[in-house]
Copies of this chain bind each other. A is one copy, B any other.
Amino acid sequence: MMTNAVIHPSASLGYQCEIGHFAVIHEGVVIGDRVVIGDHAVILPGTVIGSDVQIGAQSVIGKVPQTNRRIKRKPTPLPPLTIGSHVTIGACVVLYRGIEIGDGTFLGDHVSIREKVQIGADSVIGRAAVIELNTVIGSRVVVQTGVYVTGDSTIEDDVFIGPRVSMSNDKYMGTRPFTYAGPIIRQGAAIGNNATLLPGIEIGAKAIVGGGAVVTKNVPAGTVVVGNPAAPIPTK
């Protein structure tokens, strides 16, 4: 079966790439060796993809941020999206320009990541997780299915974020001026399923937040918190 992909003449493909049906590779894209791109995937101008990368069907890779008259933060020119080697990207994923993804990282289906995000090596971003702009995620981090990582967040190495955890970065919810501040989650912390983190919270190293907890204050390193509002329980 021949491919019907559209590949811009200025795009550069490495050896032994497989490009799916009706895929679109736009101007100036650079793709390494042995890259597999699914049917209908769209690789937008300037995107840089390492070797041994897989990109699922129907994904949109390297999107320029859109805006309108209501959105406060206006887009600035962004560097290209840069994807390391041995990265796996699912189907129906949307990735913006101005993202860097480290080697060996895995992004599930329906993931959505905004501009100005860095993700380290060997991390996992679960299906349908959404990551907002101006966020740094370390290496060997697990962000499980459906997590919402707000903008202006810091997630250090080896953190585990359970399914459907939610965060926010706007203390006054648009009602007063506020400097956006997402959570800071220190190395090796673990956040349980469907927990809620309020703006600007710091979760200390190796702290544990129980499933369904609502975290309204900083959590010291090594502490376990549960409940609404979250409060410490003795560690075992």
Contacts and interface: CB of A to CB of B under 8 A. Distances in A.
Interface of A: 1, 4, 6, 8, 20-22, 24, 26-27, 38-40, 42, 54, 56-58, 60, 63, 66-71, 86-88, 90-92, 94, 104-106, 109-110, 112, 122-124, 127-128, 130, 132, 140, 142, 144-146, 148, 150, 160, 162-164, 166-168, 170, 173-175, 190-194, 196-198, 208, 211-214, 216, 226-229
Contact of A60 (B58, B70, B208): B58
Contacts of A1: 6, 8, 26-27
A198 B27 CA distance: 48
A104 B68 CA distance: 7
Contact of A192 (B8, B91, B140, B168): B168
Contact of A68 (B86, B174, B191, B211): B86
A45 to B, nearest CB: 11
- Which DSSP category, helix, strand, loop or mixed, fits chain A's interface? loop
A24 B24 contact: no
Contacts of A88: 66-68
Contacts of A192: 168, 173, 198
Contact of A24 (B21, B63, B70, B213): B21
A42 B58 contact: yes
A124 B166 contact: no
B56 A66 contact: yes
Given A66-B54, A70-B104, A163-B166, A175 B198 contact: no
A104 B69 contact: yes
A18 B196 CA distance: 42
Nearest to A96: B109
A87 B164 CA distance: 28
A66 B228 contact: no
Nearest to A212: B214
Contacts of A26: 1
B123 A70 contact: yes
A109 B90 contact: no
A42 to B, nearest CB: 5
Residue among A58, A166, A227 facing the most chain B CB atoms (10 A cut-off): A166
Contacts of A164: 148, 164, 166
